[in-house]
Amino acid sequence: MTGVGDTLAGVNATLNGLSAVLIGSGYVAIKRHARNLHRIFMMSAFVVSAIFLCCYLTRVAISGTHRYPGSGAWKAIYLSILITHMILAVATPPLVIRSLYLASKQRFVEHKRLVRYTLPIWMYVSVTGVLVYLLLYHPPG
């Protein structure tokens, strides 16, 4: 039987995956000039990401951090994904909050300039969050 920490890890991976889908959907919406739909998708992605952050901090408080259970090439792959994920995850909240702020103030030129960086970083963090979970809790081999 898994503990609460393991259960929250699965919930976190699901939230990361949902965030990636919402971010991608928001991108498609804005490319189709559907601003209201874009806003809904991006605000939803923000809420899902905020819920993820709360669940992640709760999981770490309950069960701490975990070591990769394997070795060799898969461990090297895991660590390279984890390191880039962690570095970019720290940058994501300020980028997202600033992007949302600029949009809310209808400062769309600045918003567009910033989201050129925010969107791929946020998407990378969301997708690699799922990969980190899969590699850590369901390692290959």
Domain that holds residue 71: 4-137
Q: How confident is the model at residue 2 (pLDDT cuts 50, 70, 90)?
A: low
**pTM for the full predicted model:** 0.94
In angstroms, the CA 75 to CA 101 distance is 39
Higher pLDDT, 123 or 4: 123
pLDDT in tens, 99-132: 999 999 999 999 999 999 999 999 999 999 999 9
SS3 label, residue 118: helix
How many domains, in total, are found in the chain?
1
Cβ neighbours of residue 66 closer than 8 Å, sequence gap 6 or more: 136
Q: What is the pLDDT of residue 1?
A: 41
pLDDT in tens, 57-114: 999 999 999 899 889 999 999 999 999 999 999 999 999 999 999 999 999 999 999 9
Q: What is the pLDDT of residue 141?
A: 73
Q: What is the pLDDT of residue 5?
A: 86
